[in-house]
Structure 1
Amino acid sequence: MIYKLVGALRHYIWGGRHYIPQLLNIPTEENQHYAEYWLGAHASAPSILETEGKIQPLNDFVCQNSTALGAQSTALFGHALPYLLKILDVAKPLSIQLHPTKRQAEIGFAAENAKGIDLNDPKRIYKDDNHKPEMMIALSDFWLLHGFKCKDKILAAFECRPSLAPLAEKLRKQDLHDFYAEIMQADQASLAQWLVPLIEQNYAAYTADKLDLTNPDYWLLYTMDAMEISPQKLDAGLICFYLFNIVHCKIGEGIYQEAGIPHAYLRGQNIELMACSDNVIRGGLTPKYVDIPELLKIIDCREVEPQIISVAPQASRVFTYSTPAKDFALQNIRYECGETHHLTTQSAAILMVMKGQVKLDCAESTALNLEQGEAAFITAGSSYRVEGLMEGYAIVAKLP
């Protein structure tokens, strides 16, 4: 069975104003931010499913129609859709963040419940008991932080900047976890000693657009500008531009974030697919709550060499990206006008048209004509057909 699906908008202040409304072909509200568009069944913002002329939250539909998920999904993940599909427009940097393992999430969720912390409390970290591995595919040039650089590269970044040279001395005597813990608990005087000289030295080059985007000094100045961070009230997270890998994904490329790996989206638009969770432990560059002890307990400080997910090959009309995730997989379907793909899904799937127009049908349902920005929910065990009505591509979230 196939059903029309309408997602939920999220209006976070870091979001852009036009990209998502243009993608969805909806009017924009004045002075409104459009940060994320969610397609899934997370209780905080479930998508709306259209069935028999009525509308119903997707999480309710899934609860009432357990066979819609499929036997494999139910056996592994219970009676809940295991993934969440999003479109993001990152106009300003997001907080540095990381996500827990499944076990850490279960422990943290139970502990905060026992303390009576309301789910909507700003100091609530664990909104559910699930882990949140995630992947992204860039829809534009996309910049992000991802994991700790190797120690030698961090030392090199410190040593070529006189104000950071004292940090190089510290790091030589410590492992990355102890060093990072000290940085995250540094006082304003120390942060100013390390960062203010860099701000002053690079300000003219930054304003003249002469700093390369691979240079952490650029992102230091850019983030302070975008987030209105004052030199008199610095954020410890700013040091992370010298600690973490600065990653550039071109259109169609992506990256996978596993549990514990610190990361931050800096600029651009992307498709994001993750386990169905809203658990975020923050590590700076945010006005939101930062729990340093919990951060230091969860963070994975191993040295990381970013592994870029390659662009879907043009010759592969139906292509599934490779990741280690067991909770989700992302498929890319290309089509010309009149081109048809016959597909089957053993688990529940969500299809979204990213460009062009398709006719989507299966034997059990009335056909749907979907334009750019429109989506459908496909129940497990469905054999369905995607016919291109206008050249473009669609994405499908499902189980591997």
Structure 2
Amino acid sequence: MYAIRPVPKHYAWGSHRTLQHVFHLDEHETQQPLAEMWFSGHAQSPSPIMVDGVEQPLTSMIERNPIDMVGRRGSEEFGPVLPYLFKLICATEPLSLQVHPVAFQARAGFNEENRAGIPLNAPERSFKDINAKSEMVVALEPFLAAVGFSTRTFALRNLELLRLPVAQRMVEALNSTATQSAGESFVMADEMMPIASAVWSPARKRLFRAFHAAITAQETDPQELLDDLQHARSLTEHTRNDLAFDFAIRAAKAFPGDTSSLALLMMNPVRLEEGQSVFLPTGTPHAYIYGTAAEIMTNSDNVLRAGLTVKHKDIVNLLQCLDCRTSTPVDPSNSQIATMLMRDLAFYKPNVSEYMLAYGQVDVQHEPWPVINALAKRYDSLVRQISGHTPFPHSGPRVVVCTQGSVQVISEADSRVLHQGDAVFVPASDGWAHVEAVIDGEGEPQGKYLVASTPF
């Protein structure tokens, strides 16, 4: 196995404290907000790994030794690449309202921007690679997010409390009929619908029009927007509606006058406690509001933004990729029986072939982990109690990160003690691996860790 260092990403919505503490960064490295730490095989930001005392990009090692590094199965399915991108993220304020493209849209957008001569690192670039991008989040502390469209009833109950013209326009869109596309009311929105909208239901077209109204409106008076949201919040009668307004108010404070904050009132407000998770398929609109989490996704940096950002917005492409169906947030820890809850380890396995995640605790005294107890109560029918070591028996590429205390990673070929902030890349050639408590005095008797891997 190889020591691996994350690639830091400094964005305005990051923290001056949380990730810096986990990774023991010095004072010089804490001057800017730190938003993400990438354990990456992405061509634009590869993580360095230590090979015989020399740092090398993970991408180069995989290209030279794909069978050893990612395994024969991974190499045949994905090529000489790490098929996932693994991050620790921390948001202290809302970040962009965004959508990730499906595969054909990513390829088309990437090739179009190449033909236009837009550099890969240009701030106005939307498509950094040809890959579709789904992602999964596992909370490391309470984590807030707006994910996917909620029901029309929920959206109307929120928006009808507002007096702003943009909100009333959204209400009108949600009450529009299938034949209104021929009129003048929503002609601009209808012209921006994808070709597939020819077979959409009226309900999907209504959601599209309302979302379009929020993200294309001109900026409004910041105080008027905030006052209207706070007044409406005082009138709500349900906890879920309260949470949606809380998210919109946070967004309106962070991005004064940006009417796309109203789109959050159409979306599912999600609060995750430690160890809880949510999966975001391609095309799902979402915005992270606050908190610290582990995030894993396909090996892609494609982001299409609609608002709540100082970065490049690409509303045209975003609307072409937007999934306008109402949905319930997908919890990958409850998706199928293959997802297991163990005594000291939880697996998160969405229905994708590129990645899965595990979150665990080790303890010399073998005390039960409270996170597992909480998840066990929530998913009682899926719980299996398994004693002894917990192996990762497949021969795929794995990244193990110690997030608290100390842990020991043991494979068929190697063994490493990791302290908080340390990480290793376990190649396919190392065979099986497991994580256990440190009992020889090299570290603390307890520890928490994350394992990113291809599915097994």
Task: Give the TM-score of the pair, scaled to structure 2.
Answer: 0.78
CA displacement at 1:51 relative to structure 2: 1.6
CA displacement at 1:126 relative to structure 2: 0.4
CA displacement at 1:59 relative to structure 2: 0.7
Q: How does 1:235-274 map to 2 (within 5 A)?
A: 235-274=258-297
Over the aligned positions, Cα root-mean-square deviation in angstroms equals 2.6
Q: What's the counterpart of residue 278 of structure 1?
A: 301
Q: What's the counterpart of residue 355 of structure 1?
A: 404
Q: Tell me how many residue pairs correspond in the alignment.
A: 386
Contact 1:340 1:388 in 2 (8 A): no
Q: How does 1:34-113 map to 2 (within 5 A)?
A: 34-67=34-67, 68-113=69-114
Cα distance 1:169–1:360, how it changes in 2: closer, same or farther (>3 A)? Answer: closer
Q: What's the counterpart of residue 24 of structure 1?
A: 23
Q: What's the counterpart of residue 172 of structure 2?
A: 169
Cα distance 1:28–1:205, how it changes in 2: closer, same or farther (>3 A)? Answer: farther
CA displacement at 1:149 relative to structure 2: 1.2
CA displacement at 1:341 relative to structure 2: 4.2
CA displacement at 1:46 relative to structure 2: 1.3
Q: How does 1:1-400 map to 2 (within 5 A)?
A: 2-29=1-28, 30-67=30-67, 68-163=69-164, 164-174=167-177, 175-188=206-219, 191=220, 197=224, 199-201=226-228, 214-227=242-255, 229=256, 234-310=257-333, 315-337=342-364, 340-365=389-414, 367-381=415-429, 382-389=431-438, 390-400=445-455
Contact 2:304 2:315 in 1 (8 A): no
CA distance in 2 between partners of 1:334 and 1:95 (Å): 32
Percent same amino acid at aligned positions? 29
Contact 1:318 1:332 in 2 (8 A): yes
TM-superposition CA deviations, 1:226-274 (whole Å, max 9, x none): 34x2xxxx22311112211111111111100110000010101000011
CA displacement at 1:167 relative to structure 2: 3.3
Contact 1:361 1:384 in 2 (8 A): yes
Q: What's the counterpart of residue 371 of structure 2?
A: none
* Structure with the higher helix share, 1 or 2: 2
CA displacement at 1:170 relative to structure 2: 3.1
Q: What's the counterpart of residue 194 of structure 2?
A: none
CA distance in 2 between partners of 1:177 and 1:212 (Å): 26
CA distance in 1 between partners of 2:284 and 2:362 (Å): 36
Partner AA of 1:225 in structure 2: K
TM-superposition CA deviations, 1:280-333 (whole Å, max 9, x none): 000111121212211111111111122345599874334321311211011233
Partner AA of 1:55 in structure 2: E
Partner AA of 1:200 in structure 2: D
CA displacement at 1:93 relative to structure 2: 0.9
CA displacement at 1:31 relative to structure 2: 2.9
Unaligned runs of 5+ in 2: 178-205, 366-387, 439-444
Any idea what SS the aligned residue of 1:43 has? coil
Any idea what SS the aligned residue of 2:87 has? strand
Any idea what SS the aligned residue of 2:158 has? helix
CA displacement at 1:36 relative to structure 2: 0.6
Any idea what SS the aligned residue of 2:27 has? coil
Any idea what SS the aligned residue of 2:55 has? strand
Contact 1:359 1:388 in 2 (8 A): yes
Task: Give the TM-score of the pair, scaled to structure 1.
Answer: 0.89
| Runs of 4+ displaced beyond 6 Å | 311-314
Contact 2:341 2:347 in 1 (8 A): no
Contact 2:340 2:347 in 1 (8 A): no
* Structure with the higher strand share, 1 or 2: 1
CA distance in 2 between partners of 1:23 and 1:11 (Å): 15
Any idea what SS the aligned residue of 2:393 has? strand
Moved more, 146-155 or 165-174: 165-174
CA displacement at 1:340 relative to structure 2: 4.6
